[in-house]
Amino acid sequence: MSVNERFDRLLQKHLAGELTIDEVHALRTILLSSPEALDRYLDLCELDEHLSHPTGPSTSPRQSPATLPPPIRHSALWLTLVSLAASLLFAVGSMMPPSGDDSQTVRIAALSDVADVKDAAATPPRRAANPWKVIQSTGSMNHPRLLEASIPNVTTVSHRKLQFNRDIRPILSETCFHCHGPDEQGRRADLRLDTAEGATTDRGGYQPIAPGDLENSEAWRRIISEDPDLLMPPAESHLVLSDDQKTLLRRWIEEGAEYQGHWAFMAPVAPAVPDVDFTDPQADRNWSHNAIDSFVAARLAEAGMTPSVEAEPSTLIRRLTLDLIGLPPTVAETRDFVSDYESRGEAAYQDAITRLFQSPHFGERMTLPWLDQARYADTNGYSIDGGRDMWLWRDWVIQAYNDNMPYDQFVIEQLAGDLLPNASDGQHIATGFNRNHMITHEGGTIPEENLTNYTADRVKTTSEVFLGLTMGCAQCHDHKYDPISQKEYYQFFAFFNQLEDRGLDGNSGQNSAPHITAQTVLRSDELNDLEAELAQSRRQLAETTEGFDEWLDAQRRREKARGEGFQFLDTELLDVSAPNVPGTIEFEPTGSVSLMSPRGGLNGLSHSMRVSSGNLGGPNMVSGVRIEFFPQPVPVAKDSQETKPSLTPFAEGVPKVTTVLVSATGQPADQVDYHRQVAFVEATATSAAEGHPPRAIFQENNARWWQPADGESNQHLTLTFAEPADLEKTPYLSVLVVFGQSQSLPFQWRIRPFVGNDTDSPWDAERAVALANPEADGDAVMRSRLLSAFRESAATLETLRVRIANLEERHAVLTQKHSAMVMNVAAQPRQTFVLDRGQYDAPTEPVAPATPKILPTLMTAATQQDETTSAKRASEIDRTPETDDPANVETIPNEAFPQDEANRLDFAQWLVRPDHPLTSRVAVNRIWKIFFGTGLVATSADFGSQGEFPSHPELLDYLATHFVEIGWDQKQLIREIVSSATYRQQATATDAQLAIDPKNRLFARGPRFRLPAELIRDQALAVSGLLVRRIGGPSVQPYQPPALWKEVSHFGSTPATKQVFVQDHGEKLYRRSMYTIVKRTSPHPAMSAFDAPSREMCMVDRGTTNTPVQALVTLNDPQFAEAARVLAAALLREKAVADDQQRIRQAFQRVLCRDPNAQEIEQVAALLAEERARFAASPRDAQAAVSVGEWPPAVEIDPVEQAAWMQVATLLLNLSETMTRG
């Protein structure tokens, strides 16, 4: 059907009054795209002649379809056409840019105030009704009030009285308050427009705003002035009022310029739950499940919309499971819920909520956004960005959510747990909330300035997280937009300025003071299972003999050839760099390196060298490197004259080597090229301490290391390459040696490349004898020693050894004590001052702890004794927003109640008092955001004048007051949200909904948004079966490009950790993403690609971007590729699956929790056939594909078949539907 034919058909249905809502928008689309169609429509309705512009006639023929009319002479049918045309053209205009062809531009200002159509002649026979009223009353478009709803926040104000908070404050805040707002020092012309008194006071014969009198309002005259010297806002401000904003300001002044106190600064009052009856006969009268739905329905009815139908049960369980535990449901869980929901309905749904609440993963899911807000990270930030340990605090948050700790207690313990009577270790750990900020021990920084910065960070975080206020804007001057003075900022600052911390701290990986050591607060049944699993794994390793004979034969062949062809190669040492060495490095081109005046520990030594074959007659190859350590005479004690050979200064102990990395390149390089890294096949040494064999250097577990048995003789470590390096192609070697943290260093060492077979025998001399003498096989003792060596070094047992090491570390996590930074109160109180311009060295007026006057008065324990006063305070706060003036919100100043040096506990208890206007609102808004993608207040961190007005103010206040009434019970509040019909709607948007409410702020459909970065990765691990579901513990280092940290690592003289990335192995690769290490200067790249923050500061709202990099991550990142490989193997292992179609269905059920349709099966089957053919033609590609990652390969499955299904799995994991919570 052509466009013209479709247009004609739509016009016919239009005339018959039979247009559906989708057809209305189809007609609108044609009018937008076709000037000819628009002209026909205007002629049909004669709108050029019958609509008037609110400000007078147009001077050009058709600048707008709103010009002065001649006498009206048409029937009621014409009237209907006019009303529909007005609404359609309004929608057209609202969707078109303000520039371009004026003939197709319908400004909102032109129609938002359309008066009744008037006759230019003296006495017309009839008057056309206001098109707005026609649509609202007759429903001529089958869906009433569509026009009003097309732009919810603008059109709804055209027919009802304006509200200052909703309609006017945002305009003034954006364009006026910067110069004419609360900031007294920055205020111009001594004019305030944020208060009624400031705006309406007579200023010598004129008023800035004269209520009801537009002509005598000086501000209005300035707004519409064409004189650049009078125009407001002035040109130099680069702020411009739009025509729509001017229209609203004009109407507001004409209506009386009524001010309101800012809605967020007055205590919420529980509103009456509305009783809604949709006018649409097709609407479900029994849609509402609870009070939430009633408020949403009222807003929808007001906008002429109706809610969507409930989502399919399979969609509901996926949505609910992702939202409550952050993981997708299993195939069995989906199947069971769908069956149960069909038979038991609501009871099944409530049971599912209860089951998910009881999962320990609930605490993980709720903790994730809290980590952003609390700026949790595993490093200190700034340029050094060394390591820290704060995971005990993360464990505390997870446990608090799982325990359903009341929110008021949750707040108090994190802000002041240390000040509670008989505070427990857990309550001390909780205060780490305000120790998560960045710290530094960087040389050259000023401790006093750092302390000021730390406290300012606590103020910013606390105010944004709990109050939803940007108090940080008042650090240097009065707040430009909110009634918070600079003095009040520093009074608030004083609460957090009594800590016994240091301005320079946190070096060498040690936590900054104050800190405690304690056990994790996690409570689980894991320990018993863990100990059983550890015992079983140790037993399995101790009893393993499979492969021993083959290993022994290989060892004997290697031993027989030991030393064969061995020769050191000539080497020119080009450079040595030593990050974090508190001394100097001297080296000679021959390779000898000396550390002068060493103190403390070393992180890494980077060596760059050129290797030549010298006078070797054979192939120019490098077989490996030997690292030699030489003792030097040093004093036994600082005050002793006696000396002895030692590898370390002052006999402090011997060094341990955790990692050696080598790369071979064709050009000189000052660091290891991780893309050309050389693999090792063997490690030997002159000696080894018990439990620290040389092979630990590359046994794929960075928790192990090599350490010589003593420090009194020459020692060396020899590493043999798996494949020799060709000197003709790659004559340059870069070698990185990483020492254990806080270990002393050798005075002198050198690195010597060699060719041939290593001369060293295994470090255990008795084992060497046994290897060389087959006759010793019958000796039980020797065989036992050989078996022990086999179990410690055989490559075939590496996976089991890593598993044991992971389990041992996990056992230590649960049973031992660990460090965490906490809050405390300094023994010597600090005096807090107002800082001129926020400068740490410019103190002015001393201040005591207090809260802003615009908020309820803080009363200490000493002043909380008069219940009458408290009741009076509550009654004064409890007022409606329509009548309050912001200047008078706080009628009882703080000074009226002696602060008695209020502390953090007083402050925390003040935050959660029932009449506090912000705390409960901010909390429920954040919780709502988790489930709907956006809060009822979109600006979650800013409830001030610059923040957005609530989309549903009555619902916000209902939830806030209800939250307090139910004892701040977070699980109960969440249950009510996810039980609502609003939450359960299908997320598919119609064209009409997208046109009317594209961002779904009215909730006429279910929430649909992309999963957070962590959940995208977790989902891939979960559906593949790779996910390790252990709760809590230290952060892990899964796959990432290894050289990223190197780019930002610290190479100064100050010792620091977390400078060299060493990938974890075993189960640590598959932990939930919330446990992935957060290095502030180099966060995990896959997480960053999906908008995870660096946690350098408080982040309340993550942004959402869409970039090609995201596709590169999910298609190519080893973590996702490995998940696809393992998922493919799992699908192919299903014996009960009959054919490809059934396997495709199972893949959809695993990943998307639903069955595919016929078209999807056909498309996936075609892809599968294509990939089978491709890999069959290139078996090497197939083998490479199924070898990605460290998870053991499925050797029993044909690589071609597995690689083909791996592509199917990759496809499903990369679907928008997969990465979206719909």
Predicted local confidence at residue 68, as pLDDT: 30
Predicted local confidence at residue 17, as pLDDT: 63
Predicted local confidence at residue 592, as pLDDT: 58
Q: How far apart are CA 1084 and CA 1017, in angstroms?
A: 12
Kindly state the tokens that stand for 536.
């079983």
Residue 568 has pLDDT above 50, yes or no: yes
pTM over 0.85: no
Per the listing, tokens 């529909």 go with 84
Check whether the bond before 917 is cis (ω within 30° of 0): no
For residue 1220, the number of C-alpha atoms closer than 13 Å in the C-beta half-sphere is: 12
Taking the CB of residue 1112, how many other CB atoms lie within 10 A of it? 12
Kindly state the tokens that stand for 225.
């002035």
Confidence band (pLDDT; 50, 70, 90) for 975?
very high
Residue 370 has pLDDT above 90, yes or no: yes
Residue 997 has pLDDT above 70, yes or no: yes
Task: Give kind and range of the element (H or E) at residue 560.
Answer: helix 548-560
CA 202 to chain centroid, in Å, comes to: 51
Predicted local confidence at residue 599, as pLDDT: 43
Q: How far apart are CA 324 and CA 366, in angstroms?
A: 8
Q: How far apart are CA 116 and CA 123, in angstroms?
A: 15
Taking the CB of residue 921, how many other CB atoms lie within 10 A of it? 28
pLDDT more than 90, % of the chain = 46
Residue 1132 has pLDDT above 80, yes or no: yes
Backbone angles phi, psi at 262, to 5 degrees: -60, 125
Predicted local confidence at residue 878, as pLDDT: 36
Q: How far apart are CA 1197 and CA 1135, in angstroms?
A: 12
| Distance between first and last Cα of the chain | 34
Residue 142 to residues 84, 301, 990, 1121: CA-CA distances in angstroms?
Answer: 11, 14, 16, 51
More confident residue, 19 or 7: 7
Taking the CB of residue 124, how many other CB atoms lie within 10 A of it? 16
Predicted local confidence at residue 33, as pLDDT: 64
Q: How far apart are CA 720 and CA 753, in angstroms?
A: 10
Q: What is the pLDDT of residues 1180-1193, one digit of tens each?
A: 999 999 999 999 99
Q: How far apart are CA 615 and CA 619, in angstroms?
A: 11
Predicted local confidence at residue 9, as pLDDT: 75
Residue 95 has pLDDT above 50, yes or no: no
Which residues, other chains included, contact 857 with Cβ-Cβ below 8 Å and sequence gap of 6+?
851, 873, 890, 892, 893, 894, 896, 897
Over residues 633-657, mean pLDDT: 48
Average the pLDDT over each of 175-184, 278-287, 1204-1213 and give the range with the smallest value: 278-287
Q: How far apart are CA 479 and CA 1047, in angstroms?
A: 39
Could you give the domains of the chain? 3-155 (no CATH), 164-259 (no CATH), 364-519+827-916 (no CATH), 548-562+764-793 (no CATH), 564-758 (2.60.120), 1116-1221 (no CATH)
Over residues 70-93, mean pLDDT: 44
Q: What is the pLDDT of residues 442-479, one digit of tens each?
A: 888 999 999 999 999 999 999 999 999 999 999 999 99
**What burial class does residue 774 get, using C-beta atoms within 10 Å of its C-beta: 0-12 exposed, 13-18 middle, 19+ buried?**
exposed
Strand partners, 437: none
Cα three-residue angle 1200-1086-1192, rounded to 5 degrees: 35
Confidence band (pLDDT; 50, 70, 90) for 886?
very low
More confident residue, 1059 or 351: 351
Predicted local confidence at residue 654, as pLDDT: 65
**Residue 644 DSSP SS3:** strand
More confident residue, 791 or 748: 791
Predicted local confidence at residue 638, as pLDDT: 42
Please write down the HEC assignment for all residues of 795-827: HHHHHHHHHHHHHHHHHHHHHCCEEEECCCCCC
Residue 346 has pLDDT above 90, yes or no: yes
Average the pLDDT over each of 332-341, 407-416, 550-559, 1017-1026 and give the range with the smallest value: 550-559
Kindly state the tokens that stand for 1211.
């496809």
More confident residue, 885 or 187: 187
What length does the chain have?
A: 1222
E strands present in 740-814: 748-755
Predicted local confidence at residue 1074, as pLDDT: 98
The H-assigned helical ranges of 1034-1139 are 1044-1048, 1085-1089, 1108-1116, 1118-1133
Strand partners, 612: 570
Q: What is the pLDDT of residues 768-785, one digit of tens each?
A: 556 656 666 667 777 787
Residue 495 has pLDDT above 90, yes or no: yes
Specify the pairing of strand 632-635 against strand 643-646. antiparallel
Confidence band (pLDDT; 50, 70, 90) for 198?
confident
Predicted local confidence at residue 705, as pLDDT: 72
Q: What is the pLDDT of residues 1087-1107, one digit of tens each?
A: 999 999 999 999 999 989 999
Q: How far apart are CA 1021 and CA 269, in angstroms?
A: 45
Over residues 578-604, mean pLDDT: 52
Predicted local confidence at residue 442, as pLDDT: 84
CA 1054 to chain centroid, in Å, comes to: 31
Predicted local confidence at residue 23, as pLDDT: 67
Residue 606 to residues 662, 673, 715, 751: CA-CA distances in angstroms?
Answer: 10, 11, 20, 11
Residue 215 has pLDDT above 70, yes or no: yes
Average the pLDDT over each of 331-340, 523-532, 1183-1192 and give the range with the smallest value: 523-532
Q: What is the DSSP letter of 119?
A: -
Average the pLDDT over each of 147-161, 395-409, 942-956 and give the range with the smallest value: 147-161
Over residues 411-427, mean pLDDT: 97
Residue 906 has pLDDT above 90, yes or no: yes
Q: Are 486 and 478 in contact (CB under 8 A)?
A: yes
Average pLDDT of the chain, as a whole number? 80
Which residues, other chains included, contact 153 with Cβ-Cβ below 8 Å and sequence gap of 6+?
none
Residue 1126 has pLDDT above 90, yes or no: yes
Q: What is the DSSP letter of 664?
A: E
Residue 131 has pLDDT above 70, yes or no: no
Residue 330 one-letter amino acid: T
Q: Are 846 and 833 in contact (CB under 8 A)?
A: yes
Predicted local confidence at residue 165, as pLDDT: 84
Q: What is the pLDDT of residues 730-747, one digit of tens each?
A: 888 888 877 665 445 555
Over residues 568-596, mean pLDDT: 61
Task: Give kind and range of the element (H or E) at residue 717.
Answer: strand 715-726
Average the pLDDT over each of 471-475, 525-529, 755-759, 1120-1124 and give the range with the smallest value: 755-759
